[in-house]
Chain A
């Protein structure tokens, strides 16, 4: 069955960077776009960006433009996100989610805490 398993929680200081992984299984990785979505404490869902694992093409939210990037590794069916120049307001649970329009399967979430 379809599974998305994310890497563990991270703690960073302001100005640092973080890279999170999302390993997929149970479906053909190259057939589905992959999204990243985050949820700040007590807040709603915010879409961050999307990648086509077939060709590596990406689209990002303007809000994080320049600080956020998504990559993928088809050999391990894994998608990655990296956020640089971290700020306290980047503290959130980060989720990967499958499919361009449906976001039908989600990872378990990765808590990133940014604090001095």
Chain B
């Protein structure tokens, strides 16, 4: 199974400041089609996870451009340019390259 490792696990951020979350996979997520099969999700309190970024860097429909994804192979990063109160919750990375699909442990973002 591919192991996904996120850091940090807790991320307190001052409103208006940027935030960054790292995700590392135990093997390359690069598919033969040229896409990295790495997604980012936000689970707001009491809600289902929502897709933010797919294939490493593609924003999902309706996701504001303050969210961006980068990286390739085994190292990926989610960045939020300016954190707002509505961004609090658990952020997960997920690999969709092979089954079993696996998730990172989650990073809890809260407001300082």
Q: Which listed residue (A46, A61, A101, A106) contacts B49, Cβ 8 A?
A: A106
> How big is the B interface, by class?
20 to 34
B6 to chain A: closest residue by CB: A44
- Interface segment among B18-26, B81-89, B92-100: the answer is B92-100
Cβ-defined contact, A106 with B39, below 8 A: no
Cβ-defined contact, A61 with B54, below 8 A: no
Cβ-defined contact, A44 with B92, below 8 A: yes
Q: Is the interface of A mostly helix, strand, loop or mixed?
A: loop
B105 to chain A: closest residue by CB: A44
Min CB distance B51 to A, Å, is 5
In angstroms, Cα B4 to Cα A46, docked, is 12
Cβ-defined contact, B48 with A95, below 8 A: yes
In the complex, chain A residues whose CB is within 8 Å of the CB of B37: 101
Q: Which listed residue (A61, A100, A103, A104) contacts B100, Cβ 8 A?
A: A61
Chain B contact residues, CB within 8 Å of chain A: 37, 39, 41, 43, 48-51, 54, 60, 92, 94, 96-97, 99-106
> Could you name 28 residue pairs across A and B whose Cβ atoms are closer than 8 Å?
A44-B103, A44-B105, A44-B106, A45-B41, A45-B49, A45-B92, A45-B94, A46-B103, A47-B101, A47-B103, A50-B99, A59-B99, A62-B100, A95-B48, A95-B49, A100-B96, A101-B96, A102-B39, A102-B54, A103-B41, A103-B49, A103-B101, A104-B51, A104-B60, A106-B49, A106-B50, A107-B48, A108-B48
